A and B are shown apart, each in its own frame.
Chain A
C-alpha cells in the first residue's frame, strides 16, 4: 500500500519501528497532492519546503531517540482559519487573501511542538460560513467520491484531503456541523470535541460560543490520537476548560457492554433520506448486538435549533467580523474617498454574499428594539435545548443519529436557496448549541456510491466514551478506511 493511503495509527507504528521515515511519508503525500489535488482542490496553499524540513527534523528526533508523539513526522493539513505564523491564513476570503499571521494558533503550536509535519492550508467556506465549501472565494473543492458533488462544509478541504489521501489527517472547525457534515459526505471520521476541550486561540472566529476545533481522520483511532495532542487547557483562551486529558487512544478497546445508547426520535423525522435512515438504523442494531442497550429518547426542542443557531451564530459573527475594516491588515478597497467610504467599499468588496448575509442578519438580531425578541429569546431557547440533552443524558451514555439528512448534494443545488442549505445542518446544530462532543463515523454508502455518516453524541467532556463507542461501531461496521477511486487511478 502507498504510504499516503495509510492511517495515522499505522504510520505512527511504522515510524516508531523505523520501517519508514517521515521524509518518505511526506514525499509520498506530496506526490499524491501533485497527482490529485488539481482535481480535488482541497488545498489553498501547500508548504512542501517547510514540510520536508519538519520531516527531516522528525526523523532526526527519532534517530537520536528523543521523545516522540503519535504525530511526530506525520503530514497533517490545517483548515485555513487556523493561524499559522508566516503561512497565509485566508479563511478562503478575499478579505484575508494575503494575510500572514504573526503568531501560531495554540493547536498549531501544539502540533509543531509534537513534531508534526504541516502540509499546508485547506479550503473552506468563507469564514466557515456554509455547508458545501461553495462559499470559498478562492476555489471549489470536489467530493472525492463524486466530483460533481460538494464535499460538504465548511471544513470541505480538510475532509476532502483525508478522503483523497492528500493528508494523513487534518484539523477542521465545527460551529454547526462543519466537521461532521463534510466527514459524512466524504466517508471519513470527523469529530467535534466538547466546547472548551480544545483551545480556540488563533482560530479565526466565526461564532465564538459555538466554534470548536477537531480532528478529521481516516479512522476513529486516528481521531483519538490526534485529539490527544491538541486537547487541554490553554491560559490564552478563557473558555478552555482546565480538566485532565484522558488517554483516548488507550481507552478505545474497553468494553461497551451495558452502555446505554439513546436514539432521539426527532432526528429521524421528515426529510430524512430513506437510504441514510436504513444505514443508521442498521448501525444502531449492530451496536445493540455488541451488548449496548438501545433506548428511544426525545429531544423536544430540536425543531427550534436551526432558528436559534442562525440568530446566535450570526449575531456573534456580525461582531467578530467587524475587525475586517481595511485599517490594520488584509484587504483595503483602493478606490475609497474618506474613512466611511473606505469601510463601506472594503467590506462590500472584501466579503462574499453569504458572509454579508450573515453579518446583516446578526446586526439586525442585536439591534436596539430587536435584541429581546431575537438575541435574548434565542439564548433562552438555547438553554432549553441544552436541558433536553441534560435530561436524556441522565439515563443514556451516548446518543446515536444520522449526521445529515441526505448524502452529498450536487454543486449549485442549494446555493440559491440559503434556507435549504441551512437545513442540511439540522442534526448537527443542536450539539453545538449544547456544547457537546460528537463524532461522524462512516456507516455505509448509498446505491449511488455516496458515503453516509453515523453521528454519536456524548456528555460534556466524555470524549473517552464517545471515541470508545465510535471505535467499537467502526470495528463492527467496517466502513472506515474505504478509498474513492479517482480519475486516472487503476480500479
Chain B
C-alpha cells in the first residue's frame, strides 16, 4: 500500500558560550575529566543555578532567525529522572513556557521551496558523560565537564514528507546556527544532534500514525539512512497488517539498522514542574530589538543576494557561502577587485586547496582579502602572468610579509611586456631554429607550442603569453 511519510525533528545545539549555563565553569572541550566543574554543575547539596545571560541571547538569536515569536516571560522547569550523568537527578530545561515558539524555516527541495514549521526552541543544560574503562570490569566513571553546558533544542512540526526533506531541513538549520555563531554545527562530535519522529499514514488519512523516535544519528548521511530504514520497517509492519509500536529506537551505524531502546511502557514520567530556584526569564522588547539588529545576513538570503549582485553560478555561491567567514572573505575581495567570477575561481581553486591541505579555516588564512585583490589586480594589469600569479600566491600563503606587489618587484617576477624586447627575442629564436620553422610551416602546427616554450624558457616564464603568441604568429604565420 502507499503511505504518506510524516517526519518531525528535534535538534539539540550545543551553544558556543565560554561558560556554562548555570555556573561560571568553562565549556572548553577536551580538558581532563571533571576539571570544568564546581558545586553547581556537580549538584552538590545547597548549590544553586544562576542563568548565563549569553545563553538567552543565543536562544533569541536562533528564534529570530527562524521567524519565532519570543516569549517575554519564559520559565525554566525541572525534568526529573535518575541517571549517573545527571548530577542533580533532574535536568533544568523549559517545558510549558519555552523562550521561542511558532517559527518556520524555508527549505529547497527539488527546485521548490517548502516551509517547515518550528514548534518551539527552548534552553536547557547538557548532562555529563559516563566513562566505562575496558580494563576495569564493573567500574564506571562520570565526567561532569559537559554537565551544565548550554543547549537549545529546536523542535519542528511534523511537516517533512521524505528523508530528503528531513536532510534539507537539517542542513538549512545547521547553516543558520553556524551563521549565527551560536553553535559550531559539528554532528560527529555531537554539538549538533538530531532525533527524528517518524510515522506513516494512508494517503488522505486525517490523523497521524503511531510514531517511533529515532536517536543516535551523527551525520546527515546517517539521518537519511536511518529514516529510510525506519520508513521501510514501518511499511512492512503495516503491509503485513500489524501495528507500529510507539517506542524509542537507536540507530546502529555499523549494522545499518535501528533497534528498540525502550517502549511506551518504559517511557519516563519526567514530572516537569517550574524550577523554584530560577526566576522567569524576562526578555523585553528592547532586548529582542538589540538582538535583531545584531543578526547577520542569513545563508538563504545571502545566497540569493550574491547570485543577483555578482552574477556568478549558483553552484559557486553554494560553495562560497557554506561558511559565513568564507562568504565575507569573498565579498571583501570583490569590493577591492570587481571581477566576481575571477575572485570566486581563485578562492575555490587555489585558496581552498591550501586551506584544506592545512586543515585550517578561512578565519586563519594568512592571505588577507587586500592581498588577494592586489594579486588579482597584478594579473589583470598584465604585470604578471596567471602562472606567475599562482607562484606568488603560494609564496604569499607561507610568508609573513606578503605584499604581492613588493614580492613581484623584489624577485623580478614582473611580466615582460615590452614589445621591442620580445620581438628581438622571438627573432633570435626563430633564426636559431630554422628547421623547426620549416616543419611548422609545412603543417606541423603542434610545434607552435615549442616556440612559445622557448620564449618562456629564456624569460623564466615572465614573457607576456598573449604578446608572445601574437609576435610568433606574425613571424612564422
Q: Which residue of A lies closest to B38 (CB)?
A: A103
Tell me what chain B mostly uses at the interface: helix, strand, loop, or mixed. loop
Using Cβ atoms and an 8 Å threshold, which residues of chain B touch A96? 45
- A43 neighbours in B (Cβ, 8 Å): none
A235 part of interface (Cβ distance < 8 Å): yes
Residue interface bits A296-328, CB-to-B below 8 A is 1, else 0: 000000000000000000011011011101011
Whether B46 lies near A201 (C-beta < 8 A) is yes
B276–A202 touching, CB < 8 Å: no
A343 on the interface (CB 8 Å rule)? yes
Bound CA span A204–B47, Å: 8
Q: Are B44 and A103 in contact (CB under 8 A)?
A: yes
- Minimal beta-carbon separation of B343 from chain A (angstroms): 50
Inside 8 A of B45's CB, which chain A residues have their CB? 83, 89, 91, 96, 99, 101, 204-205, 323, 329
Query: Which residues of the partner chain B approach A209 to less than 8 Å between Cβ atoms?
Result: 276
- Docked pose: A24 CA to B51 CA in angstroms: 46
A interface footprint on B45-86 (CB within 8 Å = 1, 0 otherwise): 111111100000000000000000000000000101010100
B: number of interface residues (CB 8 Å): 28
A347 and chain B: residue at smallest CB distance: B82
Q: A149 at the A/B interface (Cβ < 8 Å)? A: no
Whether A101 contacts B46 in the complex (CB less than 8 A), given A238-B277, A323-B88, comes out as yes
Residues of A within 8 A of B48 (CB): 200-201, 236-238
Q: A101-B45, A367-B269 are in contact. Are A235 and B50 (CB under 8 A)?
A: yes
| B408 interface hit (Cβ, 8 Å) | no
CB-based nearest B residue for A96: B45
Chain A residues whose C-beta falls within 8 Å of the C-beta of B82 in the assembled complex: 322, 325, 343
How far apart sit A127 and B348, CA to CA, in the bound complex (Å)? 65
**Least distance between B169 CB and chain A CB atoms (Å):** 30
Whether B453 sits at the interface, judged by CB under 8 Å, is: no
Give the residue of A91, A321, A322, A339 whose beta carbon is less than 8 angstroms from that of B84. Answer: A339
Question: Min CB distance, B73 to chain A, in Å?
Answer: 15
Rounded to whole angstroms, the CA-CA distance of A343 and B89 in the bound complex is: 11
A159 to B45, CA, bound (A): 23
- What residues of B have a CB within 8 angstroms of the CB of A201 in the complex? 46-48
Q: Within residues 211 to 252 of chain B, which ones have a CB less than 8 A from any CB in chain A?
A: none
Does A208 lie at the interface of the complex (its beta carbon under 8 Å from any beta carbon of B)? yes
B87 at the interface (CB under 8 A from A): yes
Question: Known contacts A101-B44, A325-B82; is A236 also within 8 Å of B50 by CB?
Answer: yes
- Chain A contacts of B44 at CB under 8 A? 83, 101-103, 329
Q: Which residues of A contact B47 (CB under 8 A)?
A: 103, 201-202
B214–chain A nearest beta-carbon distance, Å: 23
Q: Does B296 interact with chain A (Cβ within 8 Å)?
A: no
| B90 CB contacts on chain A under 8 angstroms | 319, 322
Contacts of B272 in A (CB 8 A): 366
Is B135 positioned at the interface, with any CB of A under 8 Å from its CB? no
Name A186-226 residues within 8 Å CB distance of B.
Answer: 200-205, 207-209
Complex-state Cα separation, A205 to B273, whole angstroms: 16
Shortest distance from the beta carbon of B34 to any chain A beta carbon, whole Å: 10
Interface members, chain B 12-54 (any A CB < 8 Å): 39, 42-51
Partner of A238, one of B80, B271, B279: B279
Give, as a whole number of angstroms, the nearest-CB distance from B82 to chain A. Answer: 6
Whether the pair A327, B142 counts as a contact (CB closer than 8 A) is yes
Report Cα–Cα, A201/B82, bound state, in Å.
24
In the bound complex, CA of A321 to CA of B82 (Å): 11
Please indicate which of the listed interface residues B88, B271, B279 has the most CB atoms of chain A within 10 Å of its own CB: B271
CB atoms of A203 and B87 under 8 A apart: no
- Measured CB to CB, the nearest residue on chain A to B22 is A238
Whether B278 sits at the interface, judged by CB under 8 Å, is yes
- In the bound complex, what is the Cα–Cα distance between A367 and B279 (angstroms)? 23
Please judge, given known A-B contacts A209-B276, A238-B51, A239-B277, whether A319 and B271 are in contact too, CB under 8 Å. yes
For the complex of A and B, 10 pairs with smallest distance between CB atoms: A322-B89, A209-B276, A366-B271, A208-B276, A204-B45, A202-B46, A83-B46, A323-B43, A204-B46, A327-B84
Besides A81-B46, A207-B276, 11 new A-B residue pairs in contact (Cβ under 8 A), listed by A number: A102-B39, A102-B44, A201-B47, A202-B46, A202-B47, A205-B46, A238-B48, A315-B273, A318-B271, A327-B142, A375-B273
7 contacts between A and B (CB under 8 A): A239-B277, A328-B42, A366-B272, A367-B269, A367-B271, A368-B269, A371-B271
